[in-house]
Amino acid sequence: MRNHATIEFLGIWEKLNNPNFKPLIFEGFKNEAGSNSFVMTPKKWSETTNAIGIFSKSGRYNGGTFAHKYIALNFANWISSEFYFLFVTEFDRLKQDEQKRLSAEWNLQRTLAKINYRIHTDAIKEHIIPNIVSERQKSFVYANEADLLNVALFGKTATEWRTENPKAKGNIRDEATLEQLVVLSNMESINALLIHDGLLQSDRLVRLNAVAITQLKSLLEHNEIKRLNT
């Protein structure tokens, strides 16, 4: 704890986490740190600066020096280069695993949206498209209904999005967030039911937009979804 870098690290941690920390005393210690006459212990540090990140307790069985995990890791890294290397390697592995998991979550929702889209198009085929039309005419109806969902959820058609994002590799749905894909999947099922009930497209747009707003608000406030996107 005589090291200048150690005192600086401890002071920064306290400033970020301890409103009762005494920064002026810390600045004095930081200026003295590293000199031959400078002496510092966890007990002295906590008592003089009101520090809480590292402290010592007396006692035969429960005594010792205790520190917040970030501070403990800083000391461990300084003591052992091997530990520091293993720690960084493990941290990198965990971040890669997290990215794979988030990617899997996104792909799952994209797949669900595609499955529900089949239910959606079947409803369109059964209730909106007349019996005798060309495949080209059918595609217009499908695209029109797909854009109904796009407008209800994203506020724009696929063509409008493409005009705004000419360099994008995917389409409007490929760029959707996890929350938007969840809502899109639900909206496709709901729209299929509304089509079966014979609602006009204008009425369905209003209902689907209300669904999108309500469900997105709910998902964005949900702690589990926040954790996945962190």
36 and 95 in a single domain? The answer is no
pLDDT of residue 55: 85
134 and 25 in a single domain? The answer is no
Token pair of 36 as six digits? 């031959």
9 and 68 in a single domain? The answer is yes
pLDDT of residue 211: 87
pLDDT of residue 133: 43
pLDDT of residue 96: 75
Domain that holds residue 153: 85-229
Cα R_g (the chain), whole angstroms: 30
Mean pLDDT per 10-residue run, the chain (230 residues)? 86 91 91 88 90 84 81 76 74 72 62 62 56 52 80 88 89 85 85 86 88 83 54
169 and 122 in a single domain? The answer is yes
pLDDT of residue 164: 92
pTM, two decimals, is 0.41
93 and 193 in a single domain? The answer is yes
123 and 141 in a single domain? The answer is yes
